[in-house]
Chains A and B, each alone.
Chain A
Amino acid sequence: MNEGSGALQLVLSGDPALYNIVRLSLVVSLSAVALAALIGMPLGGLVALTRFPGRALLIVILNAFMGLPPVVVGLAVFLLLSRSGPLGSFGLLFTPTAMVIAQAVLITPIIAALTRQSVEDLWVEYRDELNAMGVKPFARLITLLYDARVALVTVLLAGFGRAAAEVGAVMIVGGNINGFTRVMTTSIALETSKGDLPLAMGLGLILITIVFAINASAWGLRLYAERRIG
């Protein structure tokens, strides 16, 4: 196929612009995953282990927000970061930082909701043992997050997949600026709009390949960890 050979040529040519776009995609989405994990994992763990009024509602909200529309998240972050918005003075709009924030907002509910599920399942299994060892609530949270680590790798992957694939949020808050905020998905949208469908498709294949490679290595890691950890 035309499209496939186009993509292959792109990769083989080692085009620095393409390399930068791929690199920025990875940096933005991985940073968003890291930021979302930093917030979402403790949050999910806390919700799993504590009882408070409104907990059920919070769980429903987290689960529902797993399907947040990227373009809505993008718009909300845009309005916050715009010079006329409440956080405008930081001048973050149309920067990679803004893209990280938008993607982190998008996937924090995913990471929190899936973490809550994993931790709660593990808590059912561990509850008696940990109580018998007199484990305090904070240590309990750390223990469960750590012992759920294999499952949490999958949680991170789910977040990464969502972040790397979305175009709506990064387009709005990043502005698709050539060489600065242009990532794989916005490039694909741009090339599509320029009518260069083979190039757009080629970029799409590269993106899919990258996501596939990351998933494959994470899966390999998981198999290895399961053999090691049991």
Chain B
Amino acid sequence: MSDLPIKLSHVSFSAAATPILRGIDLVLRAGAPTFLMGPNGSGKTTLLRFLMGLMTPTSGTIEWNGSHDPAPRRRAMVFQHPVLLRRSVAANLLYALEQAGIEKSQQDKNCTQLLELVGLVDLADRPARRLSGGERQKLAFARALARSPELLILDEPTASLDPSATLAIEQLIARAADEGIKIVIASHDLGQARRLAGDIVFLHRGQILETTSAVSFFQRAQTEQAEKFLRGDLIIER
């Protein structure tokens, strides 16, 4: 069963009377990576959590391929700070495979493939919580792929990584996209967006200001806020 397309209609969300997202209308279909861009506090992470089905909006509706059931079927998420289980690297992957309903006989094989893909074969028996930042992110990425998703949601996947680890993660993202996985990334790394993005959703103060292809976004943004964001200005005024 598929999770795509995802359709958000008039989705708003407030926490303690503070509006976080306002009147979001968005449809996500299979295709090139979509980048959610915008300054800190613009609502990117919250929007990702709605896409993943982890939160219920204050108003509005979300449909995954026409269904309102938020249980993830073919989607997976890598959080900005992934929480790894208190087990070995391999056990983390086996756990995700088990939960994704992969047959027991297949799990070991899949696990080895994933470890090879992200380059963690040598660390298979290492406690996951003892990994470095880059290794953790790779493991979280492999764990998300264990669900064989058609939609992969990534929240600032390289925010605190060094350049070599960032490169490794970006290669994994590009490869996943090439294999037909729809990628949605929240990021404010403009360089990364230029390298990977197919289209851009620009968020500002909980509203979508622009939805456009990456090419046109970087050539000529439609709004003043996006212009400023692209210039690297701090956007403070409404």
Contacts and interface: CB of A to CB of B under 8 A. Distances in A.
Given A128-B54, A129-B83, A134-B72, A229 B129 contact: yes
Nearest to B85: A147
A132 B49 CA distance: 9
B76 to A, nearest CB: 7
A230 B87 CA distance: 8
Given A228-B127, A229-B129, A128 B100 contact: no
Q: Say what secondary structure dominates the interface of chain A.
A: helix
B86 A230 contact: yes
B54 A143 contact: no
A150 B85 CA distance: 13
A134 B144 CA distance: 11
Nearest to B131: A230
Contacts of A57: none
B47 interface: no
Contact of A132 (B73, B76, B87): B76
Contacts of A147: 85-87
Give the residue among A132, A149, A230 with the most B Cβ atoms within 10 A. Answer: A132
B133 to A, nearest CB: 14
A135 interface: yes
A133 B99 CA distance: 7
Interface residues of B, number: 25
B130 interface: yes
B147 A133 contact: yes
A125 B86 CA distance: 12
A140 to B, nearest CB: 10
Nearest to B53: A131
A219 interface: no
A150 B49 CA distance: 31
Contacts of A149: 86
B96 A133 contact: yes
B23 interface: no
B72 A229 contact: no
B54 A132 contact: yes
A134 B71 contact: yes
Nearest to A128: B54
A126 interface: yes
A12 interface: no
A133 B54 CA distance: 11
Q: Number of contact residues on A: which range applies?
A: 10 to 19
Interface in B21-60: 49, 52-54
A139 interface: yes
A154 to B, nearest CB: 15
Contacts of B11: none
Contact of A229 (B71, B86, B95, B100): B86
A128 B79 contact: yes
Contacts of A128: 49, 54, 77, 79, 83
Given A228-B127, A230-B130, A134 B100 contact: yes
B6 interface: no
B85 A132 contact: no
Interface in B105-134: 127-130
B18 to A, nearest CB: 21
B82 interface: yes
A161 B95 CA distance: 34
Given A128-B54, A128-B79, A230-B129, A133 B100 contact: yes
Nearest to A126: B83
7 contacts: A128-B49, A133-B76, A133-B100, A135-B99, A150-B86, A228-B127, A229-B129
Interface of B: 49, 52-54, 71-73, 76-77, 79, 82-83, 85-87, 95-96, 99-100, 127-130, 143, 147
Interface of A: 125-126, 128-129, 131-135, 139, 143, 147, 149-150, 228-230
Given A132-B76, A133-B143, A229-B87, 6 more contacts: A128-B49, A129-B79, A131-B54, A132-B52, A133-B100, A150-B86
Closest 9 CB pairs of A and B: A230-B129, A230-B127, A230-B130, A132-B77, A147-B86, A133-B99, A134-B72, A229-B86, A129-B83
